[in-house]
Amino acid sequence: MYAVGIDVGGTQIKGGVVREDGAILRFRSVPTPREGGEAVFEALLDLVRSLLTNGEGVAVVGVGVPGWVDGRTGVVGHAPNLGWRNVPLRDRLARALPLPVAVENDANVALLGELWRGAARGAEWVLFFALGTGVGGAILAEGKLLRGARGFAGEFGHIPVRREGGDLCSCGKRGCLEAEASGRAIARRGHEAAETGRSPYLAEVLAREGRISARHVAEAASRGDAAAREIFGQAAEALAFVVGGLVNALNPERVVVGGGVSRAGEVLFAPLREALPRYALPEFLSPDLLLPGEHPEDAGVLGAAYLAFTEGRGARGL
């Protein structure tokens, strides 16, 4: 039995044909249309159809979406980075394919991917942070996804880290973690450092490529660029503030940080480990509490496939 797992991101839509043992047989990605709305749905549908062409016998489809998703109904209540509101995604895809479809928040499915084949394997209490274009989060409690009353639990990116001021977040509020520690926030601050001349390395990148990404800022920081290191230090401090509060509240076995920004490695994790004891109770900290995700690029694809396998068989209790 095979599944198609889809991870819809603010920058890319990734998909793969996944076997029941977790092997990804084929992987593809397409840019997320900047105009949002219906264009994103069409790009998503085209990607799924392209993955169905080799005749592996795909039986189910799973999709992770950034935003507020009711996994019971498959309705995307609000995905601000995609321009979606009240989109009945599961039913629309199921009619168009036609195959059984499971839909869930993207951070939830990424946590399932790390639980199935990654850094959360074997744990029952996990906090998962997805650092990408935005900041997502998911909670595993007693081995089950904690979804909340309406399915929206785990919106760590919209926990305030500033009482006043702060940059504008995609949710419309200011001072959220997402506005401080997301790939978009890091890239924006990198662009400012390039334009003001605080980072000669990033100024050269901007002149050559016309844009600054979080990856460029990570490269600059790894080369010792002071402005880039400061940018990652600010992001790590904000992240540690939220991680510490949640560790104190939930006492997890592991805190897994995944998503594309986690590929920055020690540029992110060194200041994060340094800052975390300022906010988390020492009794709750352990050497193996904070871990990078093992699948920063494809945890969402793996988790969406896992969700499809279990939901397609009528399994409950995740």
What DSSP line would sit under 201-242, residue for residue?
Answer: HHHHHHHHHS---HHHHHHHHHTT-HHHHHHHHHHHHHHHHH
What's the pTM value of the predicted model, to 2 decimals? 0.91
Give the pLDDT score at 312. Answer: 64
Summarize pLDDT for 148-198 with one digit per residue, the tens. 888 789 999 999 999 888 899 988 899 999 999 999 999 999 999 999 999
Give the pLDDT score at 314. Answer: 46
Q: What is the Cα Rg of the chain in Å?
A: 19
| φ, ψ at 305 (rounded to 5°) | -65, -45
* Mean pLDDT along residues 76-95: 92
Task: Specify the fold of 123-292.
Answer: Nucleotidyltransferase; domain 5 (3.30.420)
Give the list of residues 6+ apart from residue 274 with CB closer than 8 angstroms, or none. Answer: 236
CATH dotted code for 2-112+297-312? 3.30.420.40
State the span(s) of the chain assigned CATH 3.30.420.40: 2-112+297-312, 123-292
Asked whether residue 128 carries a pLDDT value surpassing 70, the answer given is: yes
Summarize pLDDT for 209-225 with one digit per residue, the tens. 999 999 999 999 999 99
Give the pLDDT score at 71. Answer: 86
Reported confidence tier of residue 17, pLDDT bands at 50, 70, 90: very high
Give the pLDDT score at 317. Answer: 35
Asked whether residue 315 carries a pLDDT value surpassing 50, the answer given is: no
